[in-house]
Amino acid sequence: MAFFVKSMISNQVKNLGLGGGSEEKKEEGGPSDPAAAQGMTREEYEEYQKQMIEEKMERDATFTQKKAERACLRVHLREKYRLPKSEMDENQIQMAGDNVDLPEDLRKMVDEDQEEEEDKDSILGQLQNLQNMDLDTIKEKAQATFTEIKQTAEQKCSVM
């Protein structure tokens, strides 16, 4: 009961602004100073904040670079397969500073794909495809082509 009465009187004195609230002032001072809340001096806290900002900027720059590299890959694939361009990808590349290249691993993959396509387009590539085909299939294709040419010639020439 004595504690209750003392507490009530203390609260009334605090409300009047006559003091008696030293514990409350200490509690108010703690959260208002973030350095004290973290258990650091003001200088340590400022250095910590600078370090956090620098790390965030580095992460953001790395993230932007990765996004631009992915966009660059998508642009290459769109060019390769003749798909419509995406303005969003072009914007991401521009945001990264236009000095974006494909990552080394992806560049190797793209180069290998281009070499394979060039090989397929060459005469040797076509001959290799013929080797992989069934001989009967080749005969059927040749016969169909011959028949088609013969029919076309008969339609154009009345002498035959």
Considering the domain boundaries, does residue 117 fall inside one? no
Number of domains in the chain: 1
Tokens of 51: 């370090």
Q: What is the pLDDT of residue 23?
A: 46
Considering the domain boundaries, does residue 110 fall inside one? no
Considering the domain boundaries, does residue 89 fall inside one? yes
| 3 state SS of 97 | coil
Q: What is the pLDDT of residue 98?
A: 61
Residues 53/47, Cβ–Cβ less than 8 Å: no
Q: Is the dihedral of CA 88, 92, 93, 97 positive or negative?
A: positive
Residues 71/89, Cβ–Cβ less than 8 Å: yes
Residues 45/52, Cβ–Cβ less than 8 Å: no
Considering the domain boundaries, does residue 160 fall inside one? no
Per-residue pLDDT of the chain (160 residues; tens, 9 = 90+): 555 545 555 555 555 554 444 444 444 444 567 777 778 888 989 999 999 999 999 999 999 888 888 888 888 888 878 889 889 988 888 888 767 777 777 778 877 877 777 766 666 666 666 666 667 777 888 888 989 888 888 877 765 4
* Chain centre to alpha carbon of residue 125: 36
Q: What is the pLDDT of residue 22?
A: 47
Q: How many other CB atoms are there within 10 angstroms of residue 100's CB atom?
A: 22
Residue 129 CA: distances (Å) to CA of 86, 114, 139, 142, 150 = 35, 17, 15, 15, 27
Considering the domain boundaries, does residue 43 fall inside one? yes
Containing structural domain, residue 83: 38-105
Considering the domain boundaries, does residue 70 fall inside one? yes
| 3 state SS of 1 | coil
Considering the domain boundaries, does residue 94 fall inside one? yes
